[in-house]
Structure 1
Amino acid sequence: MTSFASHLLAWFDRHGRHDLPWQHPRDAYRVWLSEIMLQQTQVVTVIPYFQRFVTQLPTLRDLAAADEDTVLALWSGLGYYRRARFLHRAAQACVEKHAGELPRDFDALAALPGIGRSTAGAILAQAYGLKFPILDGNVKRVLTRYHGIAGHPGEREVEKQLWQRADAHTPAERTADYTQAIMDLGATVCVRTRPACAMCPMHSDCVAYRDNLTAQLPTPKPGKAIPTRSTTMLILRDIDGRVLLQRRGEQGVWSGLWSLPEADDTDEAWRKAQRHARIDDAQPLTSFVHVFSHYRLQIQPLLFDGATAVHAIADNADLRWYPISELLMLGLPAPVRSLLMALPEPTAL
């Protein structure tokens, strides 16, 4: 075992996280689910989602048998909904091809939707104790600083170096604990800004600490200006308090989720609203901005109260009048869910 691994494991035994819900039991399904949820999301955010998810879908077969709306409803609020769709498809593939289990073969595991090299390694290391390295964002940050590797970690040559280092440090013994330990170190000590170097078991050999480069490493990705787009969301509410929802297409953000009909501006919003229902008036609600990773979306909600549904909607599988009280049963984008749950009381007719 390398000195890096032995020092890290000694630190983990005293200071690591040993009570995360996916560690008890630490089976392949729970490890896999946690790894997918933790992509671009912090542990403190993931824990309640994970617990709710495994309560309703406790096994891989349960996930495979669930309908997509159930899966997306459980995921709603975590964002990056493609992760949930890939999770669902991978579970179905496991039932069809792998007897309802996540395969222990690396290539078969990595071939499943949404499971890349690092996630496959994490599952095999943590669930089965097999020697496979991982390279998530926390591990990249630890290794970049420890070895003083310059260049954005997303660049091919830099990532290649990091994989080599990750593989060299991963021990054949206590692989599950080591994998958790290096993630914990990056998440709690070697954090993005103001790392707690004095508490780090590696600081005496860390190049970034030695050369005062912790603020410069990892090298940031070259910045790009984030554009702002705008949309008008139509909130058609009928006399029974139901709201018209529309399933989004398979392309773009929130793909496949139930959301609100949208228009480019108020005039188009009126035209769309009149196609869906008979309406009398509209009330602009407070606009707000939702930030995605690659752009900002300025949202102007427009409330049409007392709308009367037209019968044609019943013939469209992607349109649905839905009681607000039952929205938790659907996969909705988080800002849309918040918007609908905060609607003013219906205007008296």
Structure 2
Amino acid sequence: MHAATTDDFARRLLAWYDAHGRKDLPWQHERTPYRVCLSEIMLQQTQVRTVIPYFERFVAALPTLADLATADEDTVLALWSGLGYYSRARNLLRTARTCVAQHAGELPRDIEALAALPGIGRSTAAAILAQSHGARHAILDGNVKRVLARWHGVSGWPGASATQRELWTHAESHTPATRVADYTQAIMDLGATVCTRSRPRCGECPVADGCIARRDNLTAVLPQPKPRRDVPTRRTTMLVVRDTHGRVLLERRPPTGVWARLWSLPEVEHESLAQASLLQRHGIRAANIRPLAPFLHTFSHYHLDVTPLLLDDALADPRVADDPDADWRAPTELASLGLPAPVRKLLQSLENPE
């Protein structure tokens, strides 16, 4: 038996939130459905301190759902550039346009309709409705999974179907009928600041006396991690091609796969193929070639070992202007484009060498 009951769990958590919770996050003022939705999607797989400057820049440029719906993809990806997981940005744009076309320009208040929108899903939809409307819906993001897995002693990886169903049952049972927005923020805050993945501060936890993981010395074990698998390494050569005016050649990535629809650098399998590939694809010849420092970029499912080559004084061919997925861009234009973070960093290093 728990020392704290289900109802007592929420009561204690809300009392803790009143004293210690985060109440000055930018999406809490003002707490519109659009701002909450944007914050929740940005917070998927990303920490609050990282999200805040991106959120503020995004809403300054696109303050409403209608503004987002009319924005072009390049604008949205440029605002998102650096946050990673770019499918979130593309789904956000699709959601805004769907709301304009099918929901009178508003995010639906029905949870099933909201969860069906691109990139939202059950937990994010619940968080949006709880935070913006005070509707009673349970959430189950990563922080909440960790809190509930420890408090109830739930074994198994939280991403497994059976484990997730059990955690949803607990999440529903704890969600109160009143102060749902505060409770939702409270349990997320508890996981983010107290019941952390490593070195949880159990002495500061308002529900510690009912926690099975603490009682049984399992905080380092629960929740159980995803079964490990070997992470492969892939290799590519990125071509930094600059013309005689100092402009950089960019190619738009395919609509699916890594960095989909972002502008990036041309790639070849090996540096020996650089000149022939550029000539075949764009009719470009470069006068000077030199290697740049290689770097490793890690995705969730593989490492990318990048060898960059700088190809200077390239002669521009007219066929680049006729290709919608290729373009020459001046360094001053790069800030307005959606570029993968490592590509942006590489290009910035050439403009500002140490």
Q: Normalising to structure 2: TM-score of the pair?
A: 0.96
The whole-number CA distance in structure 1 between the counterparts of 2:133 and 2:352 is: 53
* Aligned residue runs from structure 1 range 300-315, under 5 A: 300-315=307-322
Q: Which amino acid aligns with 2:67?
A: D
Q: Report the aligned-residue RMSD.
A: 1.1
CA distance, structure 1, for counterparts of residue 327 and residue 305 of structure 2 = 25
Q: Indicate conservation of the 8 Å contact 1:234/1:273, yes or no.
A: no
Aligned residue number for residue 105 of structure 1: 110
Measure the CA separation in 1 of the matches of 2:267 and 2:291.
Answer: 14
Select which of 74, 80, 84 maps to 1:79.
84
Give the conservation status (yes or no) of the 8 Å contact 2:275–2:286.
no
Mind listing any 5+ residue stretches in structure 2 that lack a counterpart?
1-5
Name the counterpart of 1:114. 119
CA offset at residue 42 of structure 1? 0.4
Q: Give matches, 1:106-185, under 5 Å.
A: 106-185=111-190
- Distance in 2 separating the partners of 1:100 and 1:136: 27
Structure 2 residue 245 is matched with structure 1 residue 240: yes
Which residue number in structure 2 is paired with residue 328 of structure 1?
Answer: 335
Contact 2:158 2:164 (C-alpha < 8 Å) held by counterparts? yes
Residue 197 of structure 1: aligned partner: 202
Q: How far apart, in 2, do the equivalents of 1:153 and 1:268 lie? A: 45
Structure 1 match to 2:303:
296
CA distance in 2, matches of 1:170, 1:268: 59
Name the SS for the 2:329 alignment partner: strand
Residue type of the partner of 1:300? Answer: T
Partner of 1:339: 346
Q: Could you tell me how far apart the structure 2 residues matched to 1:345 and 1:159 are?
A: 48
Determine helix, strand or coil for the equivalent of 2:55. helix
Shift in Å, 1:281: 2.2
The 2-side partners of 1:26 and 1:293 are apart by 32
Q: CA deviation at 1:278?
A: 2.1
Q: Deviations over 1:153-208 (max 9, x none)?
A: 01111000000000000001000000000000000000000000000001100000
Distance 1:272 1:323 in 2: 22
> When the two structures are aligned, how many residues end up with a matched partner?
346
Displacement of 1:345: 8.1
Under a length normalisation based on structure 1, what TM-score does the superposition of the two structures give?
0.98
Which of these residues, 7, 16, 22, is aligned with residue 11 of structure 1?
16
2:70 aligns with 65
Deviation at 1:344, TM superposition (A): 5.7
Residue 294 (structure 2) aligns with: 287
Tell me the CA shift for residue 314 of structure 1: 1.2
